[in-house]
């Protein structure tokens, strides 16, 4: 494989400053920031790109500053700026502002935390009383006792387009993507050696952003993190009158905070990618294995969604018209892992994005780049350290 068109061995290409494993949104942004720091970077992806087997595929994701934890809201300040920068570099629209409607038990701790974080951080926010809610959203039935607010900064990210854009800019900066090339072995050391099905490469540092395959990769380095892979049913619901909940009718994204007795949040995006269909999902799913996800194990989440849709969204047919699938890689506290490997400081790990990492892609990529280049991280990484899992972290050697 290391033979160029004119027959010379291209040995020079097999050594890089940094190798990134996994070309989902996090690995692609890590590679992009490393290339911007003038590093020679190799981005390895097991599947031929684009693919729909991980967590970063699909047309849309929610972007928002509304979070229960302030550290995410603060990181999003920078993430918005970096998304805008990528839009300019790639000359493509990646974000459309819609606002985010947050609904939840008014006096409950979750809803109160969203409200507090938004207000304390000066995020443009509207609080709606029941009368204002009914006037503004006649097509949504508010659950009695629910409060409602709008994060006005929120909107939709065009996910597939974003992934293509960041990879294209990375390549324009001189970065190398090798797709259809699965990493089979990792040898830690002052130079890390990575073997794929097609060749062996070395680098001063390695970034592992393997999504649902993270523990498979980490087992090659003697580490296991407490990560669970979950299959998410991505459900689209037909509008009885097309456009009722449409992006063009200024309908917002929404989060129903543990609504209607559900253990997890329910969230949705206005109809857009499939005309006449609104995407509404449950923020959990059945445990699976990254390579076994197509074996459906449970429909419990779809039943919860159907009940919610029929109660709160009377303008939708309450059985899904399309069900696609996607994977979450979830940590015990739902916070990310952004850290160095505990035994090998030149191996950096970005994992466990727990179903809410896409919007942070640019800032996560920047952080992984900083860790990999031994720079001081721009954000406080204490919520994301591996040591918080002790004693659940296992050595697999």
Ligand X SMILES: Cc1cc2nc3c(=O)[nH]c(=O)nc-3n(C[C@H](O)[C@H](O)[C@H](O)COP(=O)(O)OP(=O)(O)OC[C@H]3O[C@@H](n4cnc5c(N)ncnc54)[C@H](O)[C@@H]3O)c2cc1C
Is residue 65 annotated as part of the catalytic site, yes or no? no
In this chain, which of 128, 328, 330, 371 binds ligand X, going by CB under 6 A? 328
Q: Pick the catalytic residue: 39, 64, 279, 340?
A: 279
Nearest-Å Rg of the Cα atoms of the chain is: 21
What would the x/- binding string for ligand LYRWXNCF be over residues 249 to 278, using CB under 6 A? ------x---------x-x-----------
Which entry of ligand X, ligand LYRWXNCF, none binds 370, CB below 5 to 8 A by partner kind?
A: none
Position 54 contacts ligand X (CB under 6 A) = yes
Shortest distance in whole angstroms from residue 348 CB to ligand X: 13
Active-site choice (33, 39, 57, 356): 57
Least distance to ligand X, CB of residue 241, Å: 25
Instruction: Determine whether 61 is an active site residue.
Output: yes
- With CB under 6 A as the contact rule, the residue among 40, 46, 306, 331 that binds ligand X is 46
- By three-state DSSP, how is residue 95 classified? strand
Q: Is 61 in the site for ligand X (CB under 6 A)?
A: yes
- The answer to the question of residue 47 lying near ligand X (CB under 6 A) is yes
Candidates 359, 366, 367, 369; catalytic one: 359
Note whether 44 and 19 are within 8 A (CB): yes
CB of 71 to ligand X, least distance (A): 15
Contact 226, 39 (CB under 8 A): no
- Binding partner of residue 283 among ligand X, ligand LYRWXNCF, none, CB under 5 to 8 Å per kind? ligand LYRWXNCF
Quick check: bond before 50 cis, omega within 30?
yes
Sheet order of strands, 95-97 included: 60-63, 155-158, 95-97
In sequence order, the β-bridge partners of residue 33 are: none
Q: Which residue is nearest to ligand X (CB)?
A: 24
Scanning the structure block, which residue is given the tokens 């899992």?
389
Q: How far is CA 250 from CA 186, 241, 308, 311, 320, in A?
A: 49, 15, 22, 22, 22
Closer residue to ligand X (CB): 114 or 358: 358
The interface partner of residue 265, options being ligand X, ligand LYRWXNCF, none and the CB cut-off 5 to 8 Å by kind, is ligand LYRWXNCF
Of the candidate residues 356, 365, 366, 384, the single one contacting ligand X (CB under 6 A): 356
Question: Which token pair is 152?
Answer: 């006005």
366 binds ligand LYRWXNCF (CB under 6 A): no
Q: Which residue has 């981005």 as its token pair?
A: 43
DSSP structural state of residue 20: E
- Which residue in 119, 129, 125, 185 sits closest to 150, CA to CA? 125
Of the candidate residues 20, 25, 207, 277, the single one contacting ligand X (CB under 6 A): 25
Is 279 an active-site residue? yes
| Residue pair 351/227 in contact by the 8 Å Cβ criterion | yes
Is residue 213 involved in binding ligand X (CB under 6 A)?
yes
C-alpha 341/C-alpha 151 separation (Å) is 36
- Asked about 253 being catalytic, the answer comes back as no
Report the residue count for the chain.
Answer: 397
Q: Which does 234 bind (CB under 5 to 8 A by kind): ligand X, ligand LYRWXNCF, none?
A: ligand X
Return the residues of window 269-288 that contact ligand X according to CB under 6 A.
Answer: 281
Judge whether 128 and 102 are in contact, CB under 8 Å.
no
Q: How far is the CB of 138 from ligand X (least distance, A)?
A: 25
Name the nearest CA neighbour of 83 among 121, 119, 32: 32
The answer to whether residues 170 and 30 touch, using CB atoms and an 8 Å cutoff, is: no
Q: Say how far residue 7 (Cα) sits from the centre of its chain.
A: 41
In whole angstroms, the minimum distance from the beta carbon of 179 to ligand LYRWXNCF comes to 26
Rounded distance between C-alpha atoms, residue 215 and residue 213, angstroms:
6
Q: Quick one: 76 or 194, whose CB is closer to ligand LYRWXNCF? A: 76
How far separated are the first and last CA of the chain, in Å rounded?
31
Q: Does 64 bind ligand LYRWXNCF (CB under 6 A)?
A: yes
Catalytic residue numbers read 57, 60-61, 279, 283, 326, 359
Residues in touch with ligand LYRWXNCF (CB under 6 A): 62, 64, 255, 265, 267, 283, 355-356
């Amino acid at each position: 494989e290391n033979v160029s068109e004119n027959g010379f061995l291209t040995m020079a290409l097999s050594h890089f400053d940094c190798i990134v494993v996994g070309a989902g949104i996090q690995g692609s942004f890590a590679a992009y920031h490393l290339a911007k720091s003038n590093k020679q970077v190799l981005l390895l992806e097991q599947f031929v790109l684009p693919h729909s087997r991980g967590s970063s595929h699909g047309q849309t994701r929610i972007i928002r500053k509304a979070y229960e934890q302030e550290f995410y809201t603060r990181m999003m300040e920078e993430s918005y700026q970096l998304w805008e920068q990528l839009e300019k570099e790639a000359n493509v629209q990646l974000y459309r502002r819609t606002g985010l409607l947050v609904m939840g038990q008014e006096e409950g701790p979750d809803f109160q935390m969203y409200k507090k974080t938004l207000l304390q951080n000066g995020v443009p926010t509207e609080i709606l009383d029941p009368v204002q809610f009914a006037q503004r959203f006649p097509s949504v039935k508010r659950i009695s006792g629910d409060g409602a607010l709008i994060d006005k900064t929120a909107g939709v990210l065009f996910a597939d387009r974003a992934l293509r854009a960041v990879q294209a800019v990375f390549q324009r900066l001189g970065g190398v993507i090798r797709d259809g090339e699965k990493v089979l072995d990792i040898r830690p050391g002052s130079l890390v050696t990575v073997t794929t099905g097609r060749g062996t490469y070395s680098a001063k540092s390695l970034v592992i952003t393997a999504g649902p395959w993270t523990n498979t990769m980490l087992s090659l380095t003697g580490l296991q993190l407490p990560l669970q892979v979950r299959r998410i049913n991505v459900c689209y619901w037909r509008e009885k009158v097309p456009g009722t909940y449409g992006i063009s009718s200024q309908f917002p994204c929404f989060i129903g905070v543990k609504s209607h007795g559900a253990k997890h949040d329910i969230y949705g995006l206005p109809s857009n990618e499939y005309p006449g269909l609104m995407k509404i999902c449950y923020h959990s799913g059945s445990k699976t294995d990254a390579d076994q996800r197509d074996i459906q194990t449970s429909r419990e989440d779809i039943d919860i969604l159907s009940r919610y849709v029929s109660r709160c969204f009377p303008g939708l047919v309450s059985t899904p018209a399309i069900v696609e699938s996607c994977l979450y890689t979830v940590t015990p506290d739902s916070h990310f892992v952004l850290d160095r490997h505990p035994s090998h400081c030149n191996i950096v790990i970005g994992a466990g994005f727990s179903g809410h990492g896409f919007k942070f892609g640019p800032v996560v990529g920047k952080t992984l780049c900083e860790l990999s280049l031994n720079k001081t991280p721009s954000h406080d990484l204490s919520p994301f350290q591996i040591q918080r899992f002790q004693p659940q972290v296992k050595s697999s050697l």
